[in-house]
Amino acid sequence: MVKMLIVDDESFVRECLRTQIVWDSIGVEVSGTAKNGEEALQLYRESRPQLILSDVRMPKINGIELMRNIRQINAHVEFVFISGYQDFDYVKRALDYGASGYVLKPIETNELVEAIARAVKKIEKESMDKAALDNSLSVNPYEVKYKRIVSRIKQADKRCLLESGNDFERYIVSCKDFEEKQQMLQQFIKELLKTSNREQKEYLLKAISKLYLCQQDKELTDFWKNFRREITELYSASPVPAKKQSVEEIKAYIQDHFKEVTLSLTSMSEQLNISPNYISTLFSKKCKCSIVTYIHLLRMEEAKKQLADSDTKISCIAESIGYENTTYFSTIFKRMVGKSPKEYRLQKRG
């Protein structure tokens, strides 16, 4: 179980966060709660939780300062922040410092659980990687690199074969056990088979048959050299994927077009010449929020400016920032800002 500390200056919120969600269903144990950053820092030193769910704005030590202090003690502690829309500058700073994610107020249970689950998954992966690395200290040093190669192949990054072949070859040469070498080569080819096209699969199946015929070390070494040369040529002949845009380019496109009603994953995909799934996955991974949430945030910022600085009708403001339905705009605005558009305008006008 991953130990989690809950930090919020409102006792009611702390209690709800602690009791209203079945945390152990996603592998989390609440190790304690704190009413401010100063108390949280003390509790961290006592119980060493791996994950901290914290409000971003608190007295004494705010969420950002808390993260910086704890990261000086242990750089691997994960943070998920809770914030109001008005704290967006805090949120951006938190993400810059490496927070796992954030959830906007008013809190939606599903969003919170998803954010915590992502952080838990990251913690578990780091723990497994550390265990694998610790275990590798007593084995052949090239075996660690071999496992990394296979891991990348499992993620369909077959071109790593071109980059990492020398490391794998040194591992094969350094290994003294003939059967182990043969099994490693067999596993290597089987991983390639999982994500290969028809032509590549035909070649790989024939390669496995040849591999079974090898009876001694020299035959295995010769097999590997021929296999590497031929498979490199085969993959080099495969179509080169389209250029993958960076998340900065995707964000820049959204910032230029967020006021458009027609803005969608499909329209972005067509304009940027990349798949909708790639856009969505990359953005969520790098920005710790969905594209839809990011678009809403930009639109809310613009709406707040117009409400404060003009007498434009709310329906016209909604339409000018990409919402065809005024009721839907008002619902999103109240959820993210905490007030209706009308209430916000009245507050700003005094």
Long-range Cβ pairs for the range 90-97 (8 Å, 24+): 90/56, 90/57, 90/62, 90/63, 90/64, 91/56, 93/64, 94/56, 94/63, 94/64, 94/67, 95/287, 95/288, 97/64, 97/67, 97/68, 97/71
Question: How many helices (H) and strands (E) are present in the chain, helices listed first?
Answer: 17, 5
Comparison of pLDDT for 321 and 335, the residue scoring more: 321
Domain ranges of the chain: 2-133, 141-236, 247-349
Spatial CA neighbour of 100 closest among 321, 287, 227, 265: 287
Average pLDDT, the chain: 80
**% of the chain surpassing 70 pLDDT:** 80
Tokens of 247: 């998340």
Summarised one tens digit per residue, pLDDT across range 169-207 is: 666 666 667 777 777 777 777 777 776 777 777 788 888
Pairing of strands 28-34, 2-7: parallel
Say yes or no to pLDDT of 24 above 50: yes
Spatial CA neighbour of 113 closest among 21, 32, 34: 21
Q: What pLDDT is stored for residue 345 in this prediction?
A: 93
Q: What pLDDT is stored for residue 300 in this prediction?
A: 94
Summarised one tens digit per residue, pLDDT across range 28-83 is: 999 999 999 999 999 999 999 999 999 988 888 889 999 999 998 988 899 999 98
Please report which confidence band the pLDDT of residue 157 belongs to, taking 50, 70 and 90 as the band edges: very low
d(CA 186, CA 165): 15
Spatial CA neighbour of 210 closest among 199, 222, 223: 223
Q: What pLDDT is stored for residue 171 in this prediction?
A: 60
CATH of region 247-349: 1.10.10.60
> What SS3 state is found at 34?
strand
Say yes or no to pLDDT of 129 above 60: yes
- Among left, alpha and beta (phi > 0; psi -120 to 50; other), residue 338 is left
d(CA 83, CA 27): 24
d(CA 282, CA 264): 16
The CATH number of 2-133, from 3.40.50.2300, 3.30.70.360, 3.30.565.10, 3.40.50.720, is 3.40.50.2300
> Picking from 7-16, 123-132, 302-311, which range would have the lowest pLDDT averaged per residue?
123-132
